[in-house]
Amino acid sequence: MPKVEFLQSFDALVIGSGLAGQSLALRLADTHRVVLVTKRMIDDSATNQAQGGIAAVLDGTDSVESHIQDTLTAGAGLCDPVATRFVVERGHAAIDWLIAQGVPFTRSDTGYHLTREGGHSARRVIHVADATGASVQQTLSQKVRQHPNITVLERHIVVDLITGAKLGHKTQRCWGAYVLDIDNERVLTLGAPNTVIASGGAGKSYLYTSNPDTATGDGIAMAWRAGCRVANMEFIQFHPTCLHHPQAKSFLITEAMRGEGGILRLPDGTRFMLAHDERAELAPRDIVARAIDYEMKRHGLDCVYLDMTHKGESFMRGHFPNIYARCLELGIDIARQPIPVVPAAHYTCGGIVVDLAARTDVPGLYALGEAACTGLHGANRLASNSLLECVVFSAAAAADMLAQKPAKLPKLPCWDESRVTDADEEIVISHNWDELRRFMWDYVGIVRTNKRLERARHRIRLLEKEITEFYSNFRVSNDLIELRNLVQTAHLIVECALQRKESRGLHFSRDYPETLPRARNTILKPRP
């Protein structure tokens, strides 16, 4: 039987251990006691899987204005110009901070090596070979583990936020969270005047995804329940090139391969991207993903192929050593054979509405990274802007917290399990999870229709009733918490998609194929 315990209070509670969460924790830790909560181990994050790199203006031939324009173009008219400039102008400082932490970015004869990715007009992506995220994660994780002011709670999942409404207060404020210790089956009460959601996106809402298993929309769902607005959830970016192989779970073939000359081909060798966009393989991700989806459906294909064979073995080993080695393990010599690829759900461009200090609608609650909607990504994220956003907004959030006077925590009640029992049919959870991911893929995927969206909404409402009953009667578990959050997040995706009566960026509707003259955000507000 799960135990209920009160742990202790901290100055800041950080939910999530990717680049956004870790960089914020490190910026606060010299003066604040920080607790960092992560569902699995500290390295299990989307950051750790990021291959390409981080976009920033680092070369004299590049410019801030060019990076801004590329971002606005990729965002299909929906990027917030102020937020975009805010991030891009701070790009160089963000990279300098990572270098100061010890991230070993790949060098060239003249400095750091910069590559180019789809949608960028210049080489501005700094990287660590083809495993940038893993290197960044390892560098910061070591510092986080060693810092005396940071407590790391691995294999802990947040059940829900503790807000003023739950405490019976007139003012709605966040005071921390209830957290399930997965291994010891105990619910902890973590109090903090500053709570930060940096828990990643919601790729696991879909059957095929590049995301880690932790990407279950937890932060977005709990913020919505706490009273925060969410925006633009219909814009789910599908990465065009996920390795298609039965033994390769969620393995991405980086955007940088197309930036370095990769060609997309049909099984018979025909190049097809020029028929879809004059930028061919360097078009933004939404265009490339739709083109692959179109060709696969038109020809009845299981996949298409990314051809790098013209670059030679030495180039592939030098520029993409990890991808080369992984594919070779699976029997694919990418220096001599094209790579089988398919699109997969990759990045949640919308999320919790925040300002330029990463503050949400609920005082004391911040949101960073993929869980947040800062206005940078618009209707389609430009490649390699996401890690940059993490560093820039973690710095902004830290500055905002450091400028505040300390808030006194109220008395926080422990988690009440007196009226629930142990679940006797865990199979219900796994069946519901599988059903959700399949109909989201079929009905709310790369190409959408009103009929498909309405079907998804109907199925979600049925699942919500089942899960609410399950959640009300049985003790919480990791699987139940994740399923509850996934269904809530899927609901938000579908509702946003139904409200958008046009095709823009990552949202393509057969019923509304045209793009409206004026770009508007889709903003959902919880009922009081």
Q: Where exactly are the structural domains of the chain?
A: 3-234+349-402, 236-345, 427-514
Distance from C-alpha of 341 to C-alpha of 200, rounded to nearest angstrom: 24
Q: Does domain 3-234+349-402 have CATH number 3.50.50.60?
A: yes
479: left (phi over 0), alpha (psi -120 to 50) or beta: alpha
Range in 112-116, 136-140, 249-253, 375-379 with the lowest mean pLDDT: 249-253
The domain defined by 236-345 folds into Flavocytochrome C3; Chain A, domain 1 (3.90.700)
- Residue of 27, 285, 359, 459 with catalytic role: 285
The answer to whether residue 285 is catalytic is yes
Share of the chain above pLDDT 70, in %: 98
**Residue 66, exposed/middle/buried by CB under 10 A (0-12, 13-18, 19+)?**
middle
Measuring CA to CA, which residue among 380, 154, 369, 363 is closest to residue 286? 380
Q: Over 80: is that where the pLDDT of 250 sits? A: no
pLDDT for residue 424: 65
The answer to whether the beta carbons of residues 446 and 497 sit under 8 Å apart is no
pTM of the model: 0.90
Q: How confident is the model at residue 210 (pLDDT cuts 50, 70, 90)?
A: confident
Q: Could you give the residue ranges of the DSSP H alpha helices within 360-426? A: 385-402
Q: What is 427-514's CATH number?
A: 1.20.58.100
State mean pLDDT over 513-526: 97
Task: State the average pLDDT for the chain.
Answer: 92
Distance from C-alpha of 458 to C-alpha of 453, rounded to nearest angstrom: 9
pLDDT for residue 6: 57
